[in-house]
Amino acid sequence: MAQSISIFDNIKDQFALKDKDPNQYSPLSLAFIGDSVFDLVVKTVVVELANCPARILHKKTTEVVKAESQAKIVDEIYSSLSEEEQNIYRRGRNAKPYTKAKNVNFATYCKATGLEALIGYLYLKGRTERLVSIVKEGIVLLDCEWMKKT
C-alpha cells in the first residue's frame, strides 16, 4: 500500500517550497491559512455527511466557521490546549487585524483570529491529527443539528 502524504507536504513537494518554521510566520499569516484550513475541514465533514444543495451545505458550514462559533469553541477548549498551543492562540488573538468581520464585536473577532492562527500553525507544523481533533471538538461543542442526524 502506498504511503499517504499530507496535502501540505504534497503542496511543498509540487511547488518546491522550502521548509520554514511556523514560529517565523506572523500571527495574521497563520490566521490567514488557518481560516482556510478550518473551513476545509468543516466543509469536508459537511459534504461527507450530507449530499445536498450547495446553499444548505453553506448554511451548515457557516454555523461552525463564523467568528461567534469560533470564539465559543476557543472559550470552551482553551484550558485543554497545551502551553505551546495557548501561546500561539494568544499571539493570534492579540494581533492587530487590518480588517473586522461584519456583524461581530472586536473581542469576538480577535478570539476567532486566535483560533485560526492556532489551526494555521498546526497545519504548517504537519500536526493534522491535533488540528482535526480541535475542529471536531468544536463541532461537538456547538451541538450542531446536522451532526445529530448522522
Tell whether the model's pLDDT for residue 1 goes beyond 90. Answer: no
Tell whether the model's pLDDT for residue 17 goes beyond 60. Answer: yes
- Find which of 29-38, 41-50, 52-61 is predicted with most confidence, using mean pLDDT: 29-38
Residue 96 is predicted with a pLDDT of 85
Contact by Cβ (8 Å): 22, 125: yes
Residue 107 is predicted with a pLDDT of 92
Tell me what the mean pLDDT of segment 89-94 comes to.
Answer: 97
The closest alpha carbon to 126, from 5, 2, 35, belongs to 5
d(CA 129, CA 127): 6
Tell whether the model's pLDDT for residue 145 goes beyond 90. Answer: no
Query: In the chain, what are the domain boundaries?
Result: 25-148
Would you name the residues annotated as active-site residues? 35
Predicted TM-score of the model (pTM): 0.92
Tell whether the model's pLDDT for residue 3 goes beyond 70. Answer: no
Contact by Cβ (8 Å): 64, 104: no
Give the CA distances from residue 87 to residues 33, 91, 93, in Å, rounded to whole numbers and listed in that order: 18, 6, 10
d(CA 120, CA 82): 16
d(CA 121, CA 131): 9
Residue 6 is predicted with a pLDDT of 82
Q: pLDDT above 90 covers what percent of the chain?
A: 79
Residue 66 is predicted with a pLDDT of 95
pLDDT in tens, 96-119: 877 777 788 999 999 999 999 999
Residue 103 is predicted with a pLDDT of 86
Q: Model confidence at 4, in pLDDT bands (50, 70, 90)?
A: low
Q: What is the CATH number of domain 25-148?
A: 1.10.1520.10
Residues 14, 19, 25: CA angle, nearest 5 degrees: 115
